[in-house]
Amino acid sequence: MHRHPGSRTVNPAVGVRPGHRATGWRETGVGLVLGLLLIGASSEAAGPGNLPVRVSGGMVQGRLGEAGDARIFEGIPFAAPPLGDRRWRPPAPVIPWTGIRKVDKPAPSCMQNDYGWNRANHLFASEDCLTLDVRAPLKGQRLPVMVWIHGGSNRAGGAGGTVSSRITEQGVVLVAVQYRLGIFGFLAHRQLAAEQAGASGNYGLMDQIAALQWVQDNITRFGGDPGNVTLFGESAGSQDVSLLLATPLTRGLFHKAIMQSGTPGFGMAFRPRDAAFDLGDQLDALTGGGDLAALRRADAAALLAADLQLRDAALWDQNFLWLRTTIDGHVLHRAPDKLLAAASPRPVIVGSNRFEFGPSPGSVDITAYVQHWLGRKATKALAFYRAEESAGADPRLGPIEARIETDFVFRCPAGNLAALLAERRWPVWRYEFDAPAPGAPRDNLTAHAAEIGYILNREPLGLSGQQVQLQDYWVNFARAGDPNADGLPVWGPFAGGAYAAIGTGGLSMRQKLRPKPCDLIGAL
């Protein structure tokens, strides 16, 4: 079900939009949590598997997992709290502590407005939020490391609960990262640029980079291999992964990447600094002046209220405000496609879901909607969609409004990114996922973020015959930079447009996903 832009439904605390609840998942005060919660594990558990660990800043002690086969650490600081004068600055080194710091309970999400779907994150949030969670097997050394970047439009959501995933039973170390959101994490401002060598914005991306540096410095103490780090994320988190692939600042910090339903800019034109500064100008007008020191002293709630009033005139839907990629002059000193074209190749998986989301039927003027996205290309695109509608489109693609938005925002940009990287000899695997969220009726449409339960909670795909575990492909990729292994249906590389169709029938290889209208939309 979908509603008009601004109130449309999609998926839980990991998605771009508010609302849709995927069966088998639940939101709690710390954000995304697997349906199977941690139970039977005392936060006071002690023993050989729960010894304190020294990390940057001091000693930390977590707890044992529910089956006693993993160590779980929640809320390890990886940077100083971004408070006061540190607001809207690159993350500062972590402040050391004395004694043993207990990290055995959920930590707050980063500050965010209440959009309904993220209410639990909103209620349990703090500006002092630059922490990460780790889940590590009790046994094993130099294990592959998988670092999760959560979604939520870069304005909401949280990493909390991710480490309830038992993906670590497959012999990997799992890390989940918190990063500044919305106005705190992505605001550009003229005075900030004046004090920061002309650069401003993308502080949330800088937080993610600092977390990756923490992994390099500390993950061996949890049994992980800093030389084998895979970054993965969904929606806004997937876009952020793609931008971390692009920036030269991450060189050596991770080695492989998985992008689930998100690419640079989500099909939107990249935001130049002057356009980004306009958002800072709006903030000044809303707060009665341009005093940066006063803004750094301002109450966080007042800034969240101002965030809701900021507008980017180039956007159809202001839900995308913090998803439109800003070329900030530091993390991204050039457009992401230019940076990616010049970056060193790394193995990547790029994918999207057959149906993501879109306006509810009849809620938008289709002609104006396509015109907004495609400009002079709109006439041909409209002719395609009208003809498809008349011929009877595949119902699993959803109504015409959802087909258009899924194509423009997810499917076609994913194909363009895969093509750009493959042309430069990156090892690329592409997929399209088409299955309802775990526990939902099998004939339901898939939805934005529906694949996450199959990856983190090891849900099987396939009604009969091919019982594919999507988690196996992700873990294989983390181990060796290739999703394939003996006993699994072969997932071929992105060559000539080949992609894996993954769903209730298992995995099968196909060619050229939706060449029309994607060839009308154009390159990244």
Mean pLDDT across the chain? 90
Q: Which of 450, 459, 435, 438 is nearest to 167 (CA)?
A: 459
Contact 171, 137 (CB under 8 A): yes
Quick: pLDDT tens for 345-364: 999 999 999 999 999 999 99
Quick: pLDDT tens for 490-507: 999 999 999 999 998 899
CA 244 from chain center: how many Å? Answer: 11
Enumerate residues 6+ apart whose C-beta is below 8 A from 479: 144, 171, 172, 228
Q: Which of 421, 257, 455, 431 is nearest to 340 (CA)?
A: 421
Query: How many angstroms separate the CA atoms of 227 and 92, rounded?
Result: 24
For residue 48, what pLDDT is reported? 57
Instruction: Give the C-alpha distances (Å, rounded to integers) separating 62 from 72, 93, 101, 105.
Output: 6, 22, 9, 8
When pLDDT is cut at 50, 70 and 90, the band that residue 21 belongs to is very low
At which residue do the structure tokens 């292994």 appear?
Answer: 485
At which residue do the structure tokens 């290889």 appear?
Answer: 509
**Cβ count near 164 (within 10 Å):** 23
Contact 432, 491 (CB under 8 A): no
For residue 471, what pLDDT is reported? 97
- Domains of the chain plus CATH, in order, are 25-521 (3.40.50.1820)
Across residues 319-331, what is the average pLDDT?
97
Query: How many angstroms separate the CA atoms of 493 and 418, rounded?
Result: 10
Q: In this model, does residue 441 exceed pLDDT 70? A: yes
For residue 376, what pLDDT is reported? 86
Higher-pLDDT residue of 34, 330: 330
Query: How many angstroms separate the CA atoms of 219 and 499, rounded?
Result: 33
The model's pTM? 0.92
When pLDDT is cut at 50, 70 and 90, the band that residue 272 belongs to is very high
Q: Which run of H or E residues covers position 500?
A: strand 498-503
Q: Which of 129, 187, 186, 116 is nearest to 158 (CA)?
A: 129
Which pair of tokens denotes residue 298? 């301002």
When pLDDT is cut at 50, 70 and 90, the band that residue 49 belongs to is confident
Which pair of tokens denotes residue 389? 């509608």
Query: How many angstroms separate the CA atoms of 33 and 30, rounded?
Result: 8
Q: What is the percent of the chain where pLDDT is above 70?
A: 90
Higher-pLDDT residue of 460, 344: 344
Q: Where are the beta strands (DSSP E) in 326-414?
A: 348-353
Query: How many angstroms separate the CA atoms of 135 and 313, rounded?
Result: 42
When pLDDT is cut at 50, 70 and 90, the band that residue 40 belongs to is very low
For residue 290, what pLDDT is reported? 74
Enumerate residues 6+ apart whose C-beta is below 8 A from 351: 259, 260, 261, 414, 430, 431, 432, 433, 499
Contact 146, 174 (CB under 8 A): yes
Quick: pLDDT tens for 381-425: 999 999 999 999 999 999 999 999 999 999 999 999 999 999 999
Q: Poorest-confidence range of 4-13, 71-80, 109-118, 140-149?
A: 4-13
* DSSP 3-state of 22: coil
Query: How many angstroms separate the CA atoms of 18 and 431, rounded?
Result: 25
**Cβ count near 520 (within 10 Å):** 18
Across residues 133-150, what is the average pLDDT?
97
At which residue do the structure tokens 């490391």 appear?
Answer: 145
Contact 131, 178 (CB under 8 A): yes
Which pair of tokens denotes residue 132? 């990460």
Across residues 451-469, what is the average pLDDT?
83
* DSSP 3-state of 411: helix
Pairing label, strands 173-177, 143-149: parallel
Q: In this model, does residue 36 exceed pLDDT 70? A: no
Which pair of tokens denotes residue 114? 């209440």
Q: In this model, does residue 124 exceed pLDDT 70? A: yes
Across residues 113-137, what is the average pLDDT?
98
Q: What is the percent of the chain where pLDDT is above 90?
A: 82
Query: How many angstroms separate the CA atoms of 42 and 64, rounded?
Result: 8
For residue 334, what pLDDT is reported? 97
CA 480 from chain center: how many Å? Answer: 22
Across residues 435-439, what is the average pLDDT?
92
Q: By 3-state DSSP, what share of the chain in percent is helix, strand and coil, each rounded to 5?
A: 35, 20, 45
Across residues 157-181, what is the average pLDDT?
97
- The C-alpha torsion from 499 through 502 and 506 to 512, rounded to 10°, is -30
Contact 147, 228 (CB under 8 A): no
**Cβ count near 496 (within 10 Å):** 9
Q: Which run of H or E residues covers position 475?
A: helix 470-480
Length of the chain, please? 524
Q: In this model, does residue 50 exceed pLDDT 90? A: no
Which pair of tokens denotes residue 386? 């009208």
Query: How many angstroms separate the CA atoms of 204 and 364, rounded?
Result: 33
DSSP string, 265-327: GGGSPPB-HHHHHHHHHHHHHHHTS--HHHHHHS-HHHHHHHHTT---TT-S-GGGTTTSPB-
Contact 262, 239 (CB under 8 A): yes
For residue 466, what pLDDT is reported? 66
Instruction: Give the C-alpha distances (Å, rounded to integers) separating 247 from 86, 257, 484, 494.
Output: 23, 14, 28, 23
When pLDDT is cut at 50, 70 and 90, the band that residue 464 belongs to is low
Which pair of tokens denotes residue 331? 């993390």
For residue 13, what pLDDT is reported? 32
For residue 521, what pLDDT is reported? 78
Quick: pLDDT tens for 176-192: 999 999 999 999 999 99
Torsions phi, psi of 170, nearest 5? -90, 10
Per DSSP, 153 falls in state T
